[in-house]
Structure 1
Amino acid sequence: MAILALLLLTATASAVAATNRIVGGADASIETYPAIVQIEYLNSTTWSHGCGGNILSPTYVLTAAHCVDEDDPMRIRAGTSYRETGGTVINVESYLIHPDYNKFVFLDADIALLRLEQALVYGPSIQPVAIYAQGIEVPGNSAVVFAGWGDTQPDGEPSTILQDVTVYTVSYEQCRRIYGREVTHNMLCAGVLGVGGKGVCFRDSGGPLYYGNVLVGLPSWHLGCASKRYPGVNTKVSAFTDWIVANAV
C-alpha cells in the first residue's frame, strides 16, 4: 500500500507529448513504459498474449475486467519490449473484478486487479505506474498515449515489439453524442476524430492510456480500430481510485 500511495497524484499534471507516434504507432522501448505488462493465457499447451496490464505494486497489476479468464490460468510478462519472449514471467494467483462490472451498462466498470504469485523486482524495465486521486479529470483534446502489443491493423496480427501512439481525449459530451447511452462517466474516450489511423486495436485491452506519466485509462471497447468516426473507449482509472487503493493491499 505504501508504494501505491506514493504514486497517487492529487493534482492534474500537464500532459507530456510522446516522442513516438498498436495502429499507426511506432516501436517503443519497455524502459520508456516500464509499468506495462503482457497478460498471457494458456490455450491447451501454449501461452499467448491477449491483453495488457499495468504494474501498481510488486504484487498487483491493474487491467480491464473483460481480460480476466475465469476458467484457465493466466500469467504476466514484465520487463520486455518483445511479445511473448524475455522479461519476467509470474503466474496470476487471484483476481478481483469490480462489483459494478456490466451491472448497469455493458462494459461499464471494466476494471480488475490481478494478484501475482510472486513479487516483481523493480529495475529500469519494471516500475509501478502513477494514478490520479479519485475524481480527477483529464481535459478534453489533451494529448494522451496508448502503448501495447495489439494488432497493428484490423484483422491483422499483433506486433512483435511494443508500440506507442499519440491520440487525443474526446470530451464526455462529444463521446456520448457519438455512442449514446453506452458511454458513462466511468469511461474516457480518445482517438483522432476526423482523421483516424491511430489508436488501439484487438489485444490492447487492459493496457495503458497515459496522460504524461500518469495512467488515466484502460482500453475497453471500440468500433473498428483507429476509426476516424468512433474514438476508442477506455475505463477511466480515476473513477475507481478509491476501490483500487482499498483492494490493492
Structure 2
Amino acid sequence: MKLRLLAAFSSALFVHPKIAMADEPSFNIPPVTIPESIPKVLNGYPVPGSLWPATRISRTTTSKGTFQCTATIIGPRVVLTAAHCVDNDASMVVKSDFGNVTVRCEHHNSYSGAPYHDNDIALCISPTDISLGGARYEKINTKSSIPQKGAVVRLLGYGCTEPSGETAPYLYSGTTQVVNRGSNKIHLSGGGGAVVCEGDSGGAAYAEGPQSPSPLTRVVIGVNSTREIDFSGSNVTDIADTEISKFIQSWKSKHAVSVCGYDEIPGACHP
C-alpha cells in the first residue's frame, strides 16, 4: 500500500502535477466503494471526505499551466497551503462539494523556493466565510513541544497514489513517524510509513490523540512540503516554528481574521 502527498522533491527537480480541467473530483467516496486495485497513498488508505471537510483540492493557473495541490481551511476566511503551490499574491481556487471559493494567497516573506523550499507556507484569504456544511475548521498547533521525535503523525492529501502516478479524486491518509525537527521543517520517516506524493503538497500533517494538546483531539502540526527523491521520507513545514508562527500572526493581524488555534471561535474549530 502507498500514500500520496506533495509536489516537490527535497533533493531533486521541483514538479507540480499538471491537471486536466475536465477531470472533476469526488470528495466523499467511502473507502468501501473504492476497488482494492486502486493503489493506496504511499503507505496510506482512502478516507471519506466527510471526516476531513476542511481538507480541499486547490487549483491555480500560471504561465506554465494549471496545477493541483491540497489545502486546509483553518478559519472562516483562512486557507492554509504550501508556498510552492501558488504564486505570491496570486489567486487560487479551493474546491469541494460545498462549492468553490477563490482566495488570494501570500507566501512567507522568507520562502526560499527550489531546491530547498524553506518556509514553505502560504496563507490565503477568502472574501467571505467558507462553508463546511456545518462542520468545523481545522486547528493549527501553537505548542513548540509538539510533535516530539518518534511521535506518530498523520498525513493527508488529494495527490498521487503511486510514485510518478496521476493524482486521484479521492482523499487518502496514512501515518508515519517524526525523525527530527529543524530549519522550519519536521522530517518524517518513510520506512513503511506514509510518504508525500505529487498533488498532496499544501495538505496538512496532524498530531492526534495523546500527543496533541488533549486526548481525542487533532491539530495541524505541518504543511506538506517536500519528499526525498527515493520516497524514503517527507518534510513538512513546522507550524509551531518561531519564524512560521510570526508569519501567521502577522498575516492574520494584517487581514483582521481569526485562525483556529490562535483564536477562540465558539463552535467553529475542531477539538
Shorter-chain TM-score tier: 0.7 to 0.9
How many correspondences in the alignment? Answer: 202
State the 1:73 CA deviation.
4.5
1:107 aligns with 2:117: yes
CA contact (8 A) 2:196 2:226 kept: no
Question: Aligned residue for 2:202?
Answer: 206
Aligned to 2:21: none
Q: Give the whole-Å Cα distance in 2 for the aligned partners of 1:96 and 1:211.
A: 25
Q: Which of the numbers 86, 96, 99 marks the counterpart of 1:68? A: 86
Q: What is the aligned partner in structure 2 of residue 98 from structure 1? A: 108
* Structure-to-structure mapping, 1:1-249, within 5 angstroms: 22-42=41-61, 50-70=68-88, 73-78=91-96, 86-92=97-103, 94-102=104-112, 106-124=116-134, 126-133=135-142, 135-172=144-181, 184-193=182-191, 195=192, 198-212=194-208, 213-224=218-229, 227=231, 230-239=232-241, 240-248=244-252, 249=257
- In structure 1, the residue corresponding to 2:84 is in which secondary structure? helix
Aligned to 2:269: none
CA distance in 1, matches of 2:67, 2:44: 19
Structure 2 CA distance, aligned partners of 1:111 and 1:72? Answer: 14
Shift of 1:72: 6.7
How many angstroms does 1:168 deviate by?
1.1
Tell me what 1:6 maps to: none
CA contact (8 A) 2:142 2:239 kept: no
TM-score, normalised with respect to structure 1: 0.72
Aligned residues of 1:22 and 1:159 also touching (Cα < 8 A): no
**Following the alignment from structure 1 to structure 2, what is the Cα–Cα distance between the partners of residues 191 and 200?**
11
Letter in 2 for 1:159: A
CA deviation profile, 1:47-82 (whole Å, cap 9, x unmatched): x6611111111111011111113597421014xxxx
The alignment's TM-score, normalised by the length of structure 2, stands at 0.67
Distance 1:73 1:247 in 2: 16
CA distance in 1, matches of 2:109, 2:145: 22
Distance in 2, Cα, partners of 1:246 & 1:69: 19
Per-residue deviation at 1:247?
Answer: 1.5
CA–CA distance in 1 between the matches of 2:145 and 2:54?
A: 21
Rounded to whole Å, the distance in 2 between the matches of 1:220 and 1:118 is: 27
- Between the aligned partners of 1:122 and 1:156, the Cα distance in structure 2 is 30
- 2:201 alignment partner AA: S
Maintained 8 Å contact 2:154/2:176: yes
> RMSD over aligned Cα, in angstroms?
2.7
Instruction: Measure, in 2, the Cα distance between the counterparts of 1:101 and 1:186.
Output: 11
Residue 150 (structure 1) shift = 0.4
Cα shift at 1:169: 1.2
Whether the 8 Å contact between 2:98 and 2:133 is mirrored in structure 1 is no
Distance, in Å, in 1 between the alignment partners of 2:249 and 2:56 is: 20
The answer to whether the Cα contact below 8 Å between 2:200 and 2:224 also exists between their aligned partners in 1 is yes
Quick one: distance in 1 between partners of 2:160 and 2:229?
12
